[in-house]
């Protein structure tokens, strides 16, 4: 056994000895609700963890005047007060490679809560699963980051290069007050890892844009409904046209990296449908809200044009809609498509470590959702995502696989040592 193997086993032994502590700490964090916009209490918890590890801790509230001018900024609609980003830095030698381990503390709403088998804020452990909103996406990843570094220090070692931990806000709405704010303040490194769910090495995600379609009808009393024009029926024609476009785009745009992950390259999702406001009135208005993803090789303006054309075609085939065309509103919120060069030394080094630790050929894939990795190119950083496995992310009974949290922690610890180097304390 080589010295490198001996050191790894020493660190991995420490991780295994802390299994109960890892589970307990993750459970405690899950019990602190941190829906986007309400991350403050959970961030206090993360600040205490980073301080207890002896890191140089900074509580960074985003400065709107500074971040809103950046090309990648997205306005989440939330104020930044009482919602800081928590940054913990373990300084190292400037001559050694540095590493940024980032993760988001915010989670989506747990509704419908009544359908959960366990409380979404309970952090309950059943067998090898820990349940709760955010357990997998991505409080388990934050814990893997933290315990990976803690295990190295606990084994009497120290990374030679600087290691930075970040617990950030408002990733879920693609907001600019989290990771972007941290990077703009200079908290960057020679590479970034975000342990979002899934133990594949994620090197790409599609661009994401959002829009609304509004259709006008003609209101009338239900007793004279034949004199009105029901916007629901008119909007259904637009709905069908958008569904057809979604299917066509999926057929015409193969992208193996994304298909390896989800079985499909891109999606047009119709997320909300609202119409009318009184049961005895012919619906005089209808609205759809949609999320559309596009490939790294596509141009967002061209994709928008596709939507506009199919909606226009649907309207042209209807007498009412041709006179009163649907209105499309493109939201400011969006995420640019991102792709990391798979041959970058950072990616190759991480894959080598992961393959060795997990004794498997870890897949390199793409995700079909937006992540903060997309921000790395603006700061000349290579980036990947690699995190614990779980299930029901954003759904009822979300859970994380506890064994995979330990596996992820081992991989991250090994990579910290490989990438940043080591010195004995």
Same domain, 170 and 213: no
In the three-class reduction of DSSP (H, G, I as helix; E, B as strand; rest coil), residue 186 is classed as coil
Q: State both tokens at 249.
A: 């785009």
Same domain, 174 and 214: no
Q: What is the largest CA-CA distance in the chain?
A: 86
pLDDT at residue number 288: 97
End residue of a domain, out of 288, 315, 335: 335
H-helix segments, 337-401: 345-358
Same domain, 307 and 382: no
pLDDT at residue number 194: 98
Same domain, 319 and 286: yes
Same domain, 186 and 238: no
Same domain, 155 and 233: no
Which residues pair with residue 328 across a beta bridge?
A: 213
CA atoms of 229 and 242, how far apart (whole Å)? 21
pLDDT at residue number 105: 98
C-alpha torsion 135→183→83→388, nearest 10: 0
Residue 186, classified by CB atoms within 10 Å of its CB into exposed (0-12), middle (13-18) or buried (19+), is exposed
Same domain, 79 and 186: yes
Task: Assign residue 95 the CATH number of its domain.
Answer: 3.40.630.10
CA atoms of 324 and 315, how far apart (whole Å)? 8
CA atoms of 97 and 416, how far apart (whole Å)? 10
Query: How many domains, in total, are found in the chain?
Result: 2
Q: Tell me the average confidence (pLDDT) per consecutive run of 10 residues in the chain, 425 residues long.
A: 85 97 98 98 98 98 94 92 97 97 98 97 97 98 98 96 98 95 98 97 95 98 97 98 97 90 91 97 98 93 97 97 98 89 98 97 92 96 98 97 98 98 83
pLDDT at residue number 61: 97
Cα angle, residue 346 at apex, residues 340 and 350 outer, rounded to 5°:
105
Task: Assign residue 305 the CATH number of its domain.
Answer: 3.30.70.360
End residue of a domain, out of 301, 316, 335: 335
Same domain, 275 and 385: no
Same domain, 45 and 189: yes
Q: What's the whole-model pTM score?
A: 0.91
- In the DSSP assignment, the letter for residue 61 is -
User: Domain of 31?
Assistant: 3-203+340-424
Same domain, 183 and 226: no
Question: Is there a contact between 201 and 386 (Cβ–Cβ < 8 Å)?
Answer: yes
Same domain, 402 and 256: no
In the three-class reduction of DSSP (H, G, I as helix; E, B as strand; rest coil), residue 38 is classed as coil
Q: State both tokens at 268.
A: 């047009």
Which residues pair with residue 168 across a beta bridge?
A: 104
Same domain, 173 and 266: no
In the three-class reduction of DSSP (H, G, I as helix; E, B as strand; rest coil), residue 329 is classed as strand
pLDDT at residue number 251: 94
End residue of a domain, out of 317, 335, 353: 335
């Amino acid at each position: 056994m080589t010295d490198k193997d001996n050191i790894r086993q020493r660190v991995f032994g420490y991780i295994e000895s802390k299994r109960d502590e890892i589970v307990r700490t993750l459970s405690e964090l899950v019990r602190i609700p941190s829906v986007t916009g309400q991350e403050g209490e959970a961030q206090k918890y993360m600040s205490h963890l980073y301080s207890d590890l002896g890191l140089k801790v900074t509580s960074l509230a985003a400065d709107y005047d500074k971040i809103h001018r950046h090309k990648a900024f997205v306005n989440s609609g939330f104020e930044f007060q009482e919602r800081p980003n928590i940054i913990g830095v373990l300084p190292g030698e400037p001559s050694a490679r540095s590493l940024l381990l980032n993760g988001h503390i915010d989670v989506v709403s747990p509704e419908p809560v009544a359908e959960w088998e366990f409380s979404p804020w309970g952090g309950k452990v059943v067998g090898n699963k820990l349940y709760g909103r955010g357990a997998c996406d991505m409080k388990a990843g934050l814990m893997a980051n933290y315990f990976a570094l803690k295990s190295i220090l606990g084994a009497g070692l120290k990374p030679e290069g600087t290691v930075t931990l970040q617990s950030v806000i408002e990733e879920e709405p693609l907001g600019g007050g989290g990771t972007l704010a941290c990077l703009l303040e200079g908290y960057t490194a020679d590479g970034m890892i975000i342990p979002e769910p899934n133990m594949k090495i994620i090197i790409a995600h599609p661009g994401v844009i959002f829009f609304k379609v509004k259709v006008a009808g003609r209101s009338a009393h239900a007793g004279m409904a034949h004199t009105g024009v029901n916007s629901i029926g008119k909007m259904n024609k637009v709905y069908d046209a958008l569904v057809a476009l979604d299917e066509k785009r999926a057929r015409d745009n193969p992208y193996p990296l994304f298909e390896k992950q989800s079985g499909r390259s891109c999606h047009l999702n119709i997320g909300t449908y609202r119409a009318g406001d009184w049961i005895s009135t012919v619906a005089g208005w209808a609205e759809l809200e949609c999320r559309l993803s596009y490939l790294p090789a596509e141009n967002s303006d061209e994709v928008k044009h596709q939507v506009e054309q199919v909606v226009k075609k649907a309207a042209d085939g209807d007498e009412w809609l041709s006179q009163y065309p649907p209105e499309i509103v493109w939201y400011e919120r969006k995420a640019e498509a991102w792709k990391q060069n798979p041959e970058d030394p950072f990616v190759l080094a991480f894959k080598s470590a992961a393959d060795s630790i997990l004794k498997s050929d870890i897949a390199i894939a793409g995700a079909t959702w937006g992540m903060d990795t997309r921000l790395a190119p603006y700061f000349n950083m290579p980036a990947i995502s690699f995190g614990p496995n779980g299930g029901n992310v954003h759904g009822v009974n979300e859970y994380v696989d506890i064994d995979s949290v330990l596996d992820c922690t081992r991989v991250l610890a090994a990579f910290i040592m490989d990438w940043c180097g080591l010195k004995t304390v």
